[in-house]
Each structure stands twice: as C-alpha cells, then as structure tokens.
C-alpha cells in the first residue's frame, strides 16, 4: 500500500470545522510535514480558528476558492504539493435546499478543478465525503448499515453534490489513473464546530436559554463520530490506504436527535421545556448508520471516543470558548 512520497500536504477547507482539526492533528504528529491550507473563508470558515498555528513555520494559509481554476493553478505551481486532502465543501443541507447552485459550484466544479490540477503532475488526491451520499435507512431495521458497496441514493442537493464529486474522483482514477482515495464519514462533532449544525446549535442555544428547535418528532437517528477520531482515520488512509478505494468512517454511536438534545440539556442543567418542535425538513433522512469494518480490517482504525465522553468534551469547549462562537450567523441553522 503506497505511502506519501513527500511531506508537502495541501489541505482545502482547512479553516472549517473538520479541516482545522485535521491540520492541528497533522502538525502535532508530523513535525517535518509542510502544510498549506486553502480556504475561501465563507461564513463557516473562521481564520480565528487557525490563529494558534499561524506562526508555525510548517504552516501556510492562502485565501482562495477551489472553484477558481487560475487561482488553484497558481497555488499548485507555488506550493508543489505531494498530496491534496479536500475538506472544502458547502455542507449544510438546509442551505442546499434554498440555494443548490452554490453547492454544485463548490462541491462538484471545485472538486473537478482540484482533480485537474492534480492530474497535471499526477498528485495524490483524497476526497472527504459523507455518509449522506447513501441516502437513509429505515428506523425499524437497526441491523442495516451503510457499507462501501451500498448504492448511492442522495436525498438532498447537498448529498447529491457530494455523490457527484465522489463519482468524479473515481472516474479520474479509472480514466486517467490518478491516484485517489475517498472517505465517507458519519456526523462529526467536537471543538470548532460552526453553530448552525445540530450539536453546536443546541449547546449554544441552551447556554443562552433560547428555544431548541427540533424537526418533526426528533426520532431521526444519526451515527456520531468525534472529530479527532475522524482525523486519525484520514491520517491512516492517506498514508496506508489502497489507491482507488473508498473507506467508511463511523463512530458506532447511533442516537436519535431528540436523545442528543436531552443529553445536552441535562449536562448543562437546562430544562427540557426549552425543546420546541417545528415542521420537519423537506426530504429529511430517517437514519444514518456506517459500517466501518473495512477500515478496521485493512488499516486497523477503530473509533476511540464514546459519545458520552466526546459530548462532555464538546460541551465544555463551547462553554470555555464563547468568544469564538458568539455573534455567528443565525440564519439557516440545522434543527434536530
């Protein structure tokens, strides 16, 4: 199984939630790696997140849009990466329902631009994807889980754009022999999570004694993956993963949305009367469940963080870092 030949890593979307955590992980673990971060700095990309490493001699930040071909060609020419890890994406389902064109532009067109730039020098490419490309599973069949061979069956413009990008990545491998890998993860949570998604929204609303909006009955189920565990999995894939393969990364932490909300309220000592049920999301997926057997068998990865421990760490981080999330955009927030 091929390893990274050089030590120059280009990480797109690195000012976002998962991308920033991955950069912290890599800089901490690999003292000789050079990391270049590309980010457009949209509403969900915060340069403040990267402030602790901005003076690190092994780190460089470049503001750019992955869908801007001339800009990306310049970045590749000047940084000469050995591998590209693509975290950059529009990722909010509710926003994709309102403005799907933005998701196609970044998630599909942007991925193609990166693939073309990699193709010019045969640069290794890793695509960060999502379990949402598989669609959803029934609530009454807990034994059913997504595997890497599960057919793609996207429900929202967001998941459709990610599925399209995945197929494009695999097509570049088959057609042009570009060295690629893909990982599809379940729902991440942890520090630096932008407060439009379920867990950070519920925490920040609860801290402010605001209503906690829950879609429908709150019975929709998600598999939760602590972001640090995800970063360790991607680290393994880019070093040891088999070229041309897809790896599912799951947390073995399935919980209903309502269950997660109640756990957060209990931890913060807030009343359940803050829960407010609202009309359900259009095309709302019922259940996600990832089977990570392949990555465990081939690369030895398993999730290390129990949900009870991870959510406690996450809640405490938001309590301790109010300045980071206070005043963030309240529009289009994800409900439970």
* Mean local confidence (pLDDT), 127-145: 94
The DSSP 8-state label assigned to residue 108 in this structure reads I
pLDDT digits over 36-47, tens only? 999 999 888 899
Domain region containing 120:
8-188+227-249
Active site residue 131: yes
Active site residue 43: no
Residue 107 lies in a domain: yes
- Res 193: pLDDT: 96
- Res 327: pLDDT: 67
Report the CATH number that the domain containing residue 17 is assigned in CATH: 3.40.50.720
Residue 77 lies in a domain: yes
Spatial separation of the C-alpha atoms in residues 72 and 87, rounded to whole Å: 15
Residue 57 lies in a domain: yes
Query: In 10 A of CB 199, how many CB atoms?
Result: 27
Question: How much of the chain, in percent, has pLDDT values that exceed 90?
Answer: 85
- The catalytically annotated residue of 134, 158, 192, 226 is 158
Residue 330 lies in a domain: no
Residue 272 lies in a domain: no
- Res 95: pLDDT: 82
Question: Residue-wise over 220-230: b if at least 16 C-beta within 10 A, else e?
Answer: bbbbbbbbbbb
* Mean local confidence (pLDDT), 190-206: 95
Beta strands (DSSP E) in the chain are 8-12, 34-39, 59-63, 83-86, 124-130, 180-185, 187-189, 212-215, 221-226, 246-249, 254-256, 275-278
Active site residue 132: yes
- Res 90: pLDDT: 86
pLDDT digits over 15-70, tens only? 999 999 999 999 999 999 999 999 999 888 899 999 999 999 999 999 999 999 99
Residue 35 Cα to chain centre, angstroms: 19
CA dist 27 → 23, 50, 56, 291 (Å): 6, 12, 9, 29
Domain count, the chain: 1
pLDDT digits over 73-121, tens only? 999 999 999 999 999 998 777 788 888 889 889 999 999 999 999 999 9
- The catalytically annotated residue of 132, 136, 229, 235 is 132
Answer whether residue 196 shows pLDDT above 60.
yes
Residue 98 lies in a domain: yes
Answer whether residue 332 shows pLDDT above 50.
no
Residue 101 lies in a domain: yes
């Amino acid at each position: 199984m091929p390893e990274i030949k050089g030590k120059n890593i280009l990480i797109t979307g690195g000012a976002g939630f998962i991308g920033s955590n991955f950069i912290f992980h890599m800089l901490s673990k690999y003292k000789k790696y050079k990391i270049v971060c590309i980010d457009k700095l949209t509403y969900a990309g915060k340069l403040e997140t990267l402030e602790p490493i901005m003076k690190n001699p092994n780190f460089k930040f470049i503001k750019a849009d992955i869908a801007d071909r001339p800009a990306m060609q310049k970045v590749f020419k000047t940084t000469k990466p050995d591998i590209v890890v693509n975290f950059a994406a529009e990722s909010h389902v509710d926003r994709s329902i309102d403005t799907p064109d933005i998701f196609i532009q970044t998630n599909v067109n942007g991925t193609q631009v990166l693939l073309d730039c990699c193709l010019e020098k045969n640069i290794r490419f890793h695509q960060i994807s999502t379990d949402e490309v598989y669609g959803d599973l029934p609530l009454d069949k807990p034994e059913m889980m997504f595997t890497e061979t599960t057919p793609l069956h996207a429900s929202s413009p967001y998941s459709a754009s990610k599925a399209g990008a995945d197929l494009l990545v695999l097509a570049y491998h088959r057609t042009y022999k570009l060295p690629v890998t893909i990982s599809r993860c379940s729902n991440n949570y942890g520090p630096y999570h932008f407060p439009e998604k379920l867990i950070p929204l519920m925490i920040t609303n609860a801290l402010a004694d605001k209503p906690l909006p829950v879609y429908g009955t709150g019975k929709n189920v998600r598999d939760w993956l602590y972001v640090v565990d995800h970063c360790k999995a991607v680290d393994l894939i880019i070093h040891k993963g088999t070229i041309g393969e897809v790896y599912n990364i799951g947390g073995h932490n399935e919980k209903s949305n309502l269950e997660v909300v109640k756990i957060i309220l209990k931890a913060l000592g807030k009343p359940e009367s803050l829960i407010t049920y609202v009309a359900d999301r259009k095309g709302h997926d019922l259940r996600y469940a990832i089977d990570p057997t392949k990555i465990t068998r081939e690369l030895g990865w398993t999730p290390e963080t129990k949900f009870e421990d991870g959510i406690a760490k996450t809640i405490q981080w938001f309590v301790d870092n109010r300045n980071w999330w206070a005043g963030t955009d309240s529009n289009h927030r994800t409900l439970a």
